[in-house]
Chains A and B, each alone.
Chain A
Amino acid sequence: MDTLTLHRIHFAFTITYHYLFPQLTMGLALLIVVLKTLALRTADRKTAEHYDTGARFWGKIFGINFLLGVVTGIPMEFQFGTNWAEFSRRAGGVIGTPLAMEGVFSFFLESAFLGLFLFGERRLSRRAHWASAFLVFVGAWLSGFFIIVTNAFMQHPVGYKLLSNGTLEIASFRELLLNPWAWLEYSHNMCAAVVTASFFMAALGSLYLLQGRDVPHGRTFLRVGVIAGAIACVAQVFPTGDLHGKYLAQHQAVAIAAMEGLFRTEKGAGMILIGQPNYESGTIDNPLVVNKFLSFLIYGTTGAEVEGLDHFPREQWPSALPLLFYSYHIMVGLGTWFGALMAFAAFLLWRGKLYSSRWILWPILLSWPLPYIATTAGWMTAEIGRQPWLVYGLIRTSQGASSHVSASNTLFTLIGFLGLYSVLSLLWIVLVYNHVQAGPSVAVRDRQLIPVTV
């Protein structure tokens, strides 16, 4: 494998693995605030303790995932320099700003108040403990924002100037932070994080109900998960996904054509639900198509013309077309399933039948890994769709890697990360499994023992 490919796999692997954790913790931070708020708002001591116990239980799962998110996140910041030195040199004058801001504004906030949230329940008043949970949530969501601002600049550069030596420099701080792409991407991404966390919570609630243990907690988890999940699933598609897609069509039309598998420019283009793009013949094998739907989605009218891949020179096509097509379709397909499942579960909750309907508890339980897949596929869509550019229209991916780091050194560290992250995965499975088996009722007892260490 050549050096560039290895650098790309290196980053793709470490970022994909890393993001398995923040997507849960960002969503979970919100749901923990919900539980803490429910506890704070009730006058009944017993009910308050019920919610506080739930929050404490999820706090531990949060802690495990936060830890793994932190330790796998540190390599991400370093890799800009280690593996993508030319990119850092040329774009650092712009993306250094949001990355440094993430450090000073969110890492300190998160690390300080997570300590208080996990260790300090007995030392703090109920309000102060709620506030520490809230500040962890703010820190986590700010962190996501600064990263998305960085990514949005790569997708849709604004607020910069290009110097004669080829480096980029920030020209407008306001434009950089108010990049419309960033806000669309951020809202779409944060909805996805809430989807991941609420599926996780609802699935665990379903498990407890199916097992007939910890039933009161199981019901709370299921209820909070289903309500948050239903809202997030809807917002995921409309307005965030819809607006993001339309903006994408304006600024990365070639990416849309590749995602949809639209080889030829068409009036009244159809949307392909399933199929295998065939690049030799420029057609889709085994297609299942909704006529004219793509034109409608992008332009609001069924007759509009959508530019196909044939409209663009080949060197502008994203380099991994089939993978892009599949990533996008997996994201959309799973998103549809999430919406349907959560809407139905919310309906049953409203009718008061959810807790006893085992046939719906099963799919909720089994669906917990799917948001991880959908989110990963979504990010693959965004990042592969951006190719062959590293910073869209300005720096090509082939120009960004560290030229002085050889292929074999990169492979060496890639293998190191593969090994280390395999171990982390095993630890995650063991710890989360043990914690789920122990259940929230242990969190009550734990209250006496808690903060030995986190």
Chain B
Amino acid sequence: MGTLWFWIVALMLTVYAVLDGFDLGVGIVYLWVARSEAERRQAMRSIGPVWDGNEVWLLAAGGTLFFAFPLLYASAFSGFYLPLMMVLWLIILRGVSIELRSHSSDAVWRAFFDGLFCFASVLLAIFFGAALANVVRGVPIGPDGYFFLPLWTNFKTGSNPGILDWYTVLGGLISLTALSLHGAIYLALKTQGNLAARAQQVARWAWMAAALLTAAGVPATIVARPESLKNYTAHPIAFVIPLIGAACIGAIRVTMSRQSGLTCFLCSCGYLASVLIGAATGLFPALLPAVGGQGHDLTIERTISGAYGLHVGLIWWGLGIFLALLYTVIVYGSFRGKVAIEDSEYEHEH
């Protein structure tokens, strides 16, 4: 039962990364690919109806984590107190900038929210990457299951790490480049004209950076936490996950130059998913491993909620997610197609 909920939460976070990943990525590349006011509106329109729903996956995953693994939720959220609060502030600023820029036609007002949108998206991408790297590397968990991490110590991994060390900074940069790539591919797929062309260009650069950094990330992970390999060596079939990831990275480049936007975007989704699923595979059965002292890992067994609640949970969670997928299909279906530079669809209906 615990294993099932472990993978449910991992899957929800993966869906979050893939979906909110592209609108975060749009935010990262926004100022460079969308130059004119019309292009900026075009870029905003490409994520306008969906970004909020994408972000809900984070909330739903957080709620599910709380429900299934209360001790983990309590420990991780209080231990990562400062960076989490900053993530919250950035989420607030980003949401506000997307929605409020259109409320005034004043150029300064719009420029301000454009900058804020990009700033918050960049930092969020870095924070999320660093967060994942923190979980993979492990934290100094005490016997009571709690810890508190400072923002940085000496930038080394080991028994006294900070939120930021060389490994988590690398994680942040991988996330930044991977999401830029993801967002640029999305824009190239979803828009037309100059915006799409520039997005294509940016995607090429982002691809190079993301591929290089990801390649560095794999050995770095083994250095930062050698135990990550344990599940892989015990079940060599698991090596399929990083292989799929590598294949996706290659396929992104190939499809990018062949102008097959949807395939390229799906490969990018596959790449992000392989990183998250690969990390989860390395962690299992720990949700948050401990550094230094042994045996303080926050494992499934140690943090799992009561069996009755988890059984009932399967029913309502299944129903809820079925409905959520249904809404997602309806919304993406209603706003399918490319976003043109001047929205002329309203004219067509006359």
Q: B78-100: which have CB < 8 Å to A?
A: 78-79, 81-82, 84-85, 88-89, 91-93, 95-96, 98-100
Name the CB-closest residue of B to A447. Answer: B346
Interface SS, A side: helix
A370 → B minimal CB distance (Å):
27
Query: Which single residue of chain B is at the shortest CB-CB distance from A10?
Result: B85
Give a binary string over B306-345; 1 marks a CB under 8 Å from any A CB, 0 the rest.
Answer: 1011001100110011011001101100110000000101
B73 is contacted by which of A88, A115, A451 (Cβ under 8 Å)?
A88
With the chains together, A86 CA to B78 CA distance in Å? 10
B212 on the interface (CB 8 Å rule)?
no
In the complex, what distance in Å separates the CA atom of A454 from the CA atom of B323?
Answer: 24
Q: How far is the CB of A81 from chain B (nearest CB, A)?
A: 3
**Cβ contacts under 8 Å, B258 to chain A:** none
Interface segment among A43-51, A63-71, A383-391: the answer is A63-71
A431 touches which of B67, B100, B147 (Cβ 8 Å): B100
Q: Is B102 an interface residue (CB 8 A)?
A: yes
Contact indicator A78/B321 (Cβ below 8 Å): no
Choose the segment among B58-66, B178-186, B236-244 that binds chain A (4+ C-beta atoms closer than 8 Å). Answer: B58-66
CB-CB nearest in chain B for A83: B78
Residue interface mask B99-127, A partner, CB < 8 A = 1: 11111100000000000000000000000
A296 to chain B, nearest CB (A): 43
* A residues near B103, Cβ cutoff 8 Å: 64, 431, 434
A120 at the binding interface (Cβ < 8 Å) = yes
The residues of B that contact A108 with a CB separation of less than 8 Å are: 53, 56, 60, 320, 323-324, 327-328
Residues of A within 8 A of B50 (CB): 115
Q: Is the CB of B335 within 8 A of A119?
A: yes
CB pair A92–B48 under 8 Å, yes or no, is no
Report if A170-B306 is in contact (Cβ < 8 Å); known contacts: A108-B324, A453-B45: yes
Chain A 72-115 against B: per-residue CB contact (8 Å), 1 yes, 0 no? 10110110111101101101111011011111110111011111
Closest to B149 in A: A404
Cα-based distance from A72 to B313 in the complex (angstroms): 27
- Give chain A nearest CB distance to B60 CB in angstroms: 4
The reply to whether A427 and B100 contact each other, CB–CB distance below 8 Å, is yes
Contact between chains at A404 and B84 (CB < 8 Å): no
Q: Are B85 and A413 in contact (CB under 8 A)?
A: yes
Q: Interface size on B (CB < 8 Å)?
A: 71
Which of A81, A123, A413 makes the CB contact (< 8 A) with B77? Answer: A81
Q: A404-B147, A405-B148, A453-B102 known; A100 and B67 CB under 8 Å?
A: yes
Cα A102 to Cα B320 in complex, Å, equals 10
Chain B residues lying within 8 Å of A369, measured Cβ to Cβ, are none
Contact A115 B53 (CB under 8 A): yes
- Whether A122 touches B346, Cβ cut-off 8 Å, given contacts A86-B74, A105-B323, is yes
**For the complex, is A429 an interface residue (Cβ under 8 Å from B)?**
no
- Are A115 and B331 also in contact (CB < 8 A) when A92-B73, A409-B81 are? yes
Q: Decide: B320 and A99 in contact? CB cutoff 8 A.
A: no
Contact between chains at B78 and A402 (CB < 8 Å): yes
Could you tell me the distance in whole angstroms from the C-beta of B303 to the nearest C-beta in chain A?
9
Contact (A170, B309) CB under 8 Å given A81-B66, A97-B67: yes
Give Cα distance in the complex from A403 to B144, angstroms.
11
B308 touches A171 (CB 8 A): yes
Q: Does A116 contact B (CB under 8 A)?
A: yes
A64 to chain B, nearest CB (A): 8
Measured as residues with beta carbon below 8 angstroms from the partner, the interface class of chain A is: 35 or more
- The answer to whether B91 and A77 have CB atoms under 8 Å apart is no
Interface contact B70-A103, CB-CB below 8 Å = no
Asked whether, in the complex, the Cβ of A92 is within 8 Å of the Cβ of B74, the reply is yes
Whether the Cβ atoms of B66 and A80 lie closer than 8 Å is yes
Indicate if the CB atoms of A104 and B316 lie closer than 8 Å.
yes
Closest-by-CB residue of A relative to B305 is A93
Query: At the interface, yes or no: B52 with Cβ under 8 Å from chain A?
Result: yes
Chain B hits for A89, CB < 8 A: 70-71, 74-75, 145
Distance (whole angstroms) from the CB of A204 to the closest CB of chain B: 18
Contact B85 A416 (CB under 8 A): yes
Complex Cα spacing A68 to B91, Å:
11
Q: Could you tell me the distance between the alpha carbons of A99 and B103 in the complex, rounded to whole angstroms?
A: 33
Whether A81 contacts B312 in the complex (CB less than 8 A), given A100-B64, A111-B53, A427-B100, comes out as no
Q: Is A424 on the interface with B (CB-CB < 8 A)?
A: yes
Cα distance, A64 to B100, chains bound together (Å): 8
Tell me the complex Cα distance, A92–B88, Å. Answer: 21
Question: Which of A405-454 touch B at CB < 8 Å?
Answer: 405-406, 409, 412-413, 416, 420, 424, 427, 431, 434, 448, 451-454
Which chain B positions have C-beta within 8 A of A431? 100, 103
B41 contacts the other chain (CB 8 A): yes
**A173 CB-CB contact with B under 8 Å:** yes
Choose among B101, B145, B349 the residue that contacts A453 (Cβ–Cβ < 8 A): B101
Contacting residues, chain A, for B92 (C-beta < 8 A): 71-72, 74-75, 420, 424
**Residues on the B chain within 8 Å of A413, using CB:** 81-82, 85
Nearest A residue to B53 via CB reads A111
Most chain B beta-carbon neighbours within 10 Å: one of A74, A83, A92, A167: A92
Q: Decide: B73 and A81 in contact? CB cutoff 8 A.
A: yes
Q: Which residue of B lies closest to A421 (CB)?
A: B92
CA distance A448 to B348 in the complex (A): 12
A109 proximity list for chain B (CB < 8 A):
323, 327
A346 to B316 Cα, complex, angstroms: 43
Give the Cβ gap from B119 to chain A, nearest Cβ, in Å.
14
> Nearest chain B CB to A205's CB is how many angstroms away?
23
Q: Is A266 an interface residue (CB 8 A)?
A: no
A169, CB-defined interface residue at 8 Å: yes
- Looking at the complex, which one of A74, A102, A124, A170 makes contact with B91 (CB distance below 8 Å)? A74
Asked if A70 contacts B95 (CB within 8 A), the reply is: yes
Q: How many angstroms from the CA of A253 to the CA of B345 in the assembled complex?
A: 62
- Which one of B60, B75, B101 contacts A107 once the chains associate, using CB atoms below 8 Å? B60
29 A-B interface contacts by CB (under 8 A): A63-B99, A67-B95, A67-B96, A70-B52, A74-B91, A78-B77, A81-B66, A88-B73, A88-B77, A92-B66, A92-B70, A97-B312, A100-B67, A100-B313, A102-B63, A103-B56, A104-B63, A107-B59, A108-B328, A109-B323, A113-B327, A115-B53, A119-B49, A122-B345, A123-B334, A173-B309, A452-B41, A453-B44, A454-B48
Known: A78-B88, A89-B75. 12 other contacts (CB 8 A): A74-B91, A82-B77, A88-B74, A96-B68, A96-B305, A105-B316, A107-B56, A116-B49, A170-B309, A405-B78, A409-B82, A453-B98
The 9 lowest CB-CB distance pairs between A and B, nearest first, are A92-B70, A81-B77, A104-B320, A96-B67, A169-B306, A112-B327, A103-B60, A103-B63, A100-B63
